[in-house]
Homo-oligomer: A and B are copies of this chain.
Amino acid sequence: MRLVVPVSGSDPKTRLASVLSPDERRDFTEAMLADVVDAVTAAGHEPDVISTAPLDCAAPLTVDDRGLDPLVNDLLASIVTDGDGALAVVMADLPLVTPKSIERLLAPDADVVLAPGLGGGTNAFVCRHPEFRVDYHGASIRDHRQIARDVGASVTEVDSRRLATDIDEPGDLAEVLLHSDGAAADWLIDAGFSLSLTDGRVTVSRE
Contact = CB atoms under 8 A, between A and B. Distances in A.
* Protomer copies: 2
A66 interface: no
A35 B146 CA distance: 25
Contact of A120 (B142, B159, B163, B201): B201
Given A139-B178, A178-B139, A178-B142, A119 B200 contact: yes
- Determine the interface band of chain A, counting residues with CB < 8 A from chain B: 20 to 34
B169 A138 contact: no
A203 B119 CA distance: 7
Interface of A: 15, 98, 100-101, 104, 116, 118-121, 138-139, 141-142, 159-165, 168-169, 174-175, 178-179, 195, 197, 200-203
A174 B161 CA distance: 16
